[in-house]
Amino acid sequence: MTIEEIRYDFREHPEKFHSYFAKIMRLIIISKLNCLEKNLTSLKYFNEVISRIEGCDIHKIKYGKPMIFTKFFGYEFNYHTVRVKIKITEKYTIDISLESIIPDFVKTFDKLSTDTNEINWNITKYSINGIKLDDQKRNSQDESNLQLMEKEAKLTFYLLDSFIQTLYLLMTQSSVNTNSLSDRNIEIKDISISRKILNIEMLVDEKTVILDFLPKSKNGVVVSIDNDEKIGETIRTVMLQNNYN
């Protein structure tokens, strides 16, 4: 196991702090996306989402059952590739903890998060390798359903950007605020697509919070599991208050 602790201090360049936070959060989210191959709706929706992330493709791994994960600019992710914890300790200072059973992947992840390239998503759909579906299965979904799926995929990215912005607001709040996530360890543990629902499992100081993003729903966010501090509900409320979704 390789573990690396990194501190990035943006006090001399505060204008870059928010963009770095947003970039590493997008990278974490991409690295954790997955779905079960056997569920046709989940698989189609996963393909639809991944096809809107620049440089992203998919690959298959068997964890007892076939699972689909992301491949980002040639780097294949799975459950065990990398574990990332982030903590904002001061106004423009962020601590990153990287853990991986693959030593080179710690350096790779750090490089991807700090290079000058932007991580672009919700872009115009492009071709990916995907998982091939036979003609009968492809033809079973009419054009209107395909258009609906495309619309919901776009809304999913709005919800993800909303989620990132909400975390930024809460993690940069003064610690005197009862809702503040300043100086707290935040980890995105898993992001699975189940049919057309995005399930985000996160840890706040090792305590589990699970949010479901439902692009078809009016509010778009449901708290499935919360901790004693109701951090999941706080995240949901801030997202709705700021109309990010």
pLDDT tens digits, 182-209: 999 999 999 999 999 999 999 999 999 9
CA distance 164 to 202: 13
**pLDDT score for 135:** 43
Work out the mean pLDDT of the chain and round it to a whole number: 91
Look at the chain and report how many structural domains it folds into.
Answer: 1
The model's pTM: 0.93
Classify 75 as helix, strand or coil. strand
Domain of 218 in residue numbering reads as 2-241
**pLDDT score for 132:** 53
